[in-house]
Amino acid sequence: MIASKLFVTLGLPLCINAFSLYDAGTDKDVTKACDKAMSADINCNKKAFSFINGGWYGSLDSGALTDAVCTNTCSQSLQDWVTSVSEDCEDKDKAQYGLRIWTGWNATCLKDTKTGRYCNDIIEDFTDVGEEEELPHDELCHPCYVKRLKMYKPSPHALNIKWHEEQLELVHKK
């Protein structure tokens, strides 16, 4: 009885802080190695799964939640998943959802080197501007904003790349 309670108690956090992108055996067109790689658990807070949607990843509105998502364990698990799927699957597109989550994780977990604050929290405090308006110079050229824009440039897994490129061009003009 004590052993089963210990198992349930100790096993619970592993269930809460892990998810998989694919169910094993559902894609009949892949090798067993690919199926195993694709269905492997990703050891991250389940909030990280929301990064699969792509786009501009904003603040999670909770320092505790952001800290729970932005762990070394999650970073390594995402990296391992993408590497395994890329190596074990012939169709390189099988890794796209993991890569999109990885892009979102990197954007969400980026910190300002001066203050140690999450960049999303800093950017969230920027001036609200309309579509045709520009951010004030100090916000447009803030290191967090520039890093976030550059982050998307090499990633085909980020959505709305054109907007990011336009914003980055504007930064370079200033």
The ranges assigned to domains in the chain are: 2-45+53-173
Q: How high is the pLDDT of residue 34?
A: 96
Percent residues over pLDDT 70 in the chain? 77
Q: How high is the pLDDT of residue 163?
A: 59
Q: How high is the pLDDT of residue 167?
A: 66
Contact 62, 42 (CB under 8 A): no
**Contacts (Cβ under 8 Å, ≥6 apart) of 147:** 110, 119
Q: How high is the pLDDT of residue 140?
A: 84
Of 37 and 163, the structure prediction assigns the larger pLDDT to 37
pLDDT level of residue 1 (50, 70, 90 thresholds): very low
Q: How high is the pLDDT of residue 22?
A: 93
Q: What is the mean pLDDT of the chain?
A: 83
Whole-prediction pTM value? 0.78
Quickly list H helices, the chain: 2-16, 32-38, 63-69, 72-88, 96-109, 119-124, 137-140, 143-152, 161-173
Q: What is the pLDDT of residues 115-146, one digit of tens each?
A: 999 999 999 999 888 776 788 888 888 999 88
**Contacts (Cβ under 8 Å, ≥6 apart) of 89:** 30, 31, 34, 37, 38, 95
DSSP conformation class of 30 = S
Of 9 and 118, the structure prediction assigns the larger pLDDT to 118
